[in-house]
Structure 1
Amino acid sequence: MVDRTKQDAPRSAWVVAVLSPAYLGPDDDGATEWGAVLNATRRHTDRVFTVIVADCAPAGVLAELPWINLVGLDKDTASRTLHREVLQIVNVATKCPPERR
Structure 2
Amino acid sequence: MGLIVNGGNAKSSSMEAIQAAKTGDFDGADAKLKEADAALSEAHNSQTSMLTKEASGDHVKVTLLMVHSQDHLMNAITFRDLAGEIVDLYRKLAKEGK
TM-score range, shorter chain: under 0.3
Larger helix percent: 2
Q: Would you tell me which structure has more strand in proportion to its own residues?
A: 1
In the superposition, the TM-score normalised over structure 2's length comes to 0.28
Structure number with the bigger relative contact order (C-alpha 8 A, sep ≥ 6) is 2
